[in-house]
Structure 1
Amino acid sequence: FASPCAGLCAPLGLLILYFFFFAFVLFVDPLDAKACPSGEFMCANRKCLATVYVCDGDDDCGDGSDELKCAAPLTCGPNHLRCNTSECVPLMWSCDGDPDCSDNSDEGPERCGGDGVPYLANRKANCTAGEFRCANGECVRLTWKCDGDPDCKDKSDESDCPLLTCRPDEFQCGDGSCIHGTKQCNKIYDCLDHSDESGCVNATKCEGPLKFLCKNGECIDSSKVCDSVKDCKDRSDEPKKECGLNECMINNGGCSHVCMDRPIGFECQCPTGYQLLDKKTCGDIDECENPDACSQICINYKGDFKCECYEGYEMDPVTKTCKAEGKSPYLLFTNRHEIRRVDLVKRDYSQVVSTQKNTVALDLDVANNRIFWCDRFHRKIYSAFIHEASDPAQQVPLVDSSLKTPVGLALDWLQHNLYWTDSGDKSISVASVDGTKRRVLINTDLSEPRAIALDPHHGFMYWSDWGTRAKIEKAGMNGVDRQVLVADNIEWPNGITLDVANRRLYWVDSKLHLVASVDLNGAHRRTHISSAERLGHPYALAVFEDRIYWTDRDRAAVFMANRLTGQEIHTLAENLNDPHDIVVFHQLRQPQGPDSCNLGSVANGGCDYLCLKAPQITEHSPKYTCACPDGQDLGPDMRGCVPAPRNDLTTPSHSAGLTPGTRVTVAEDFSLPSGGVSQADATPHLTTAPSGAPESLTPLSTLKPVSSQESKALVPVVATVVFGLVCTGVYLVWRNWRRNSTKSMNFDNPVYRKTTGEGEEDEIHIGRTDGMGHHAHHHPYPQGVSMGVVGAGGGTLRGYVLFLMYSFGLCVIPGGPWSSGNTV
């Protein structure tokens, strides 16, 4: 029997399959298979965002889908201010000179009074002589005014500029700006309007094997050579002797490897991996001389080369580039009021730190999953564990005093110290990772220090300075062995970073609009990207694997590119607020190594204060050195700290009993007694003159050398003083002799006192016999008359009278009016 569905079941089954297929195509989006993780929002362009970015007033998706269907809040919280754009910002942020609303309404004159001028990082009260003051109050270099490149945020440095006239060796773009003549028709848009590449003819060289150069300079196709037709006007394409001659038949044409016969003449060629050293001999090509040959390690062989990767990386079999092993890397970057995170593989986008005022710099402790950042507005350095950083209670201020404008931050992840730059006081400082110990390392010859990077394995730090003499410098992490790495062809170096694996330093120049690099000795410079269109105002950068990542303040975005070629530029995050610093989180970014300060049994290297990594200049270099707080120096053991010696050479003005011009040398902190110091009480470090002089000193810096004429004039005076001193000595010897040879008695007579109070020592002395022994002997001088000591009572006056008389030659003869029975 025939089946009832014979000839029908198969078409019916196919029809059902077609039905389900079209239903799936029409109603099921295959991209839904890629769902965002729980708690995240999927944009219309399939991008995943943290829900905190939805309806926050910023286009974080890039297509605006995160800001659709958002109802504007009718009111903000009690501690928040509602901007004119319906945004809510903390109330404490209003009228602080730093606009937080996108329309600046939190700083507007209607709310805060005044002119409502917004806060800007480069604004100063007064610009220096070499700076131009922008209309918004910023200060930029005077040489940057009217150079065709806006540097002020409001572009006022390019307003009211005369028509530019380019130099003879420059090309003038359509907008009037000038570029070097060699940049015209180089297949790169150097002018913003692309006028440098318009009208260019892609002329090719007249070379074989496709072209033939006639002797008169004409260029014809090689196929027309030796075809019995005279195509060159000088007929050089039809030489009778050479047409049909194969020079390679004789001794291979003299070629060392391959000889190719041509219609006229011949050509020597080389196999792959070799190149012509002259026109006939082939030699090995060192492919490793090309920095783009390999991602990391390049090994040259004869006629070939090989690429390898460092430990922790593996070769990608498709791209032949080195990829990091382990967890996928992610970016962290500051966005003024927050710190954001972008996963470089999954492209997840989330918030790490929120409710900040003006974050400008950050760094990481990868091993401990910790983040450090600077808030320029609050002038503090904070730290938190990354998984707790969103909680303000977990954000610990490490350095919260004596900071003016912290702008750069870097962590020594081996010795656990934190370094930062401060453009306000023009310094580079270091502190322990907990912030309890700190010291200024460098504060000389710094103009506008910006970014800082560390190489803890070799003990060097690197920083950029975009001041009047822009440069990138290098020094030991203990502040020694300072040297300039880059000083030429550099204008506004902002961010710097180290490619630890390949031992290179990268930087961005916001003025020259480029990304460049050198090795860690400042040699082998390369420019990776140079384009005003692609690099508006780059601020910071990071390098990992074969990628460069950077923030651009003009374009308010984060970008990445291939570090080897400078191509493949992509946008990672856009429509940002004010992006500044950027770092990569991955364990290979901070390769582990020994802590030089804790190699032995002695903690912290035995240092009383800071232990800093020393630069490894030679194999005999120290592993570390100790450092003391500001105002103290290392002691004799180079580990302990002692107070630094005082620089001043004179005592304070309150030190009494010193004659004007007296030089005082103080080895350590030393205060003089308020009542004066006698010669007997002076220490070996203190030299004083006789007392009784005014309580003021002449600083040594104000004393001028005595001329020869003045010296001659002082000779009689000096002689007189010396003679007087000799007379004084003779008199004192005589007095002492007479006192010892004369018997005397004394009794108190209040009539002769200037006061009847106790403590006075003035007495009347009358000679006596040995029988009067019940009265005590007294020193014939009152206490206050001793030379060099300030006393009290009439004894002081008589002592000075005697001194003056002897000094002027009035030597008293024993038995005279001053030597009667009553002693003075």
Structure 2
Amino acid sequence: MQRTHAVWPSVEEDDSLSLQLIPASALLPPNVSICDGFGFSCTNLPSLVIGTSQRCDGVADCPDGSDEIGCKACQTMFSCEVFSSNDKSAHLMCLRGSSLCDGVSDCADKSDETRFCRKDCVKGELRCNGTAMCLPNELVCDGDVHCRGGDDELNCEGKCQSGSRWCKRSKRCIPKWQVCDGVTNCADRSDEMNCSCKECSGSGKALCENSKICLDRSRICDGIVDCPNGDDEKQCPGSCPRPPSDVTINSGYALQDDNLLCADGKRYNRKYACSGLLKQCQDKCLNCDAEIAFTCKNKKCVPRAMVCDGMNDCGDGSDEAKCDCGVLERAGNVIRCGMTSEHITQKCIPALRRCDGYEDCPGGEDERNCDNCNANPKAIYCNVTRTCFSSTKRCDGFEDCPNGIDESGCTCEECRKQPYAMYMCSASARCFPRSRVCSPFSRCPRATGIDKLFCANKARIARSEL
């Protein structure tokens, strides 16, 4: 069927299966909820739903500002009465701390510039340093900065009030309009924990049912675990779930699953973690991966391409020792690499590294014109181009060999080894980076309804963000 558009696919444009028969919930893990029944629909754009915590919070989130109109109660601690020009009815204008005593009268009665703006404070009020501003206790430690210097939000541990939450990392109160909004404002994510569906509402929000964590919907089935028990990545389209043996001991090393827990808190396949490319994993590697990395004398891992490149990448100089071609030739068989514009000094490599799948020469000629890859049983041989590729090229979503042999017959175990999130096609043994599987239609051979629905949904999200 000839495509008549060149932008985004839609569910209706599928030509092999009526995707209408597949519910949108098929894209969601079983223990994740989309809290559609709550929130505020913008007046001029009903499809945009504002979370309950953003309704009447002193900031217009709807393009037409309708979420701040007709307020009967405010998320903020200060408000003033205004009257509708249509029916003369009264409603509240919600103001945040930054609007108080700022020299601009927002309220008709100017109470935002008079009520707290005085030099003499009475008992039970906090004087803001350096300003003529007095705050009652109910405006202190509520997460909203009223004092210009932030005095009202200092030393608040155990004192957070008005629905705000204490953040241990930043040692401040998170205001209630930032609690359970799907955006992490506290490094330990405590502001997004213990949430209800009513709190975790609005367009693009999702709730992990078991852990009660609120997060952005784009983080569901993105290949990265956000919920403590991994609920956001379970039974996702195209996912390759890790086996239950993915456990960690105190040293930070993962057992059996061949993954390392690195300094950034993420797990990486041991091959990539110990390739020298990931600084966050340097201290976690007991051994460097011999296929793609060089082990320095100080046990640091650096990519083999950095050996004899004129740069001290090891720090102890061991990657630049024994690089003289004359010395190497006296020690045994070597190959002289061609010179490039970036490498004007000729590099020599041991002959045993020829056709092992790793480009040691700057121009990669050591991996071309090969009859086989016997130097490294793990390497991939492309008989079309007579080239050897590293095993890291296997099932990475990019065809390096014209006949696609490096991307055929992939297993979940192979796809999981990549350092980025992968999508496993439903009906073919192919996998792609999740960021590239839709172009915008599914690139999966013999794409199933779920594969196509995944891309249609991704297109829908992209359109909503335009």
Per the shorter chain, which TM-score range?
under 0.3
Identify the structure with the greater strand proportion: 1
Which structure is larger by alpha-carbon Rg, 1 or 2?
Answer: 1
Q: Answer 1 or 2: higher relative contact order, Cα 8 Å, separation at least 6.
A: 2
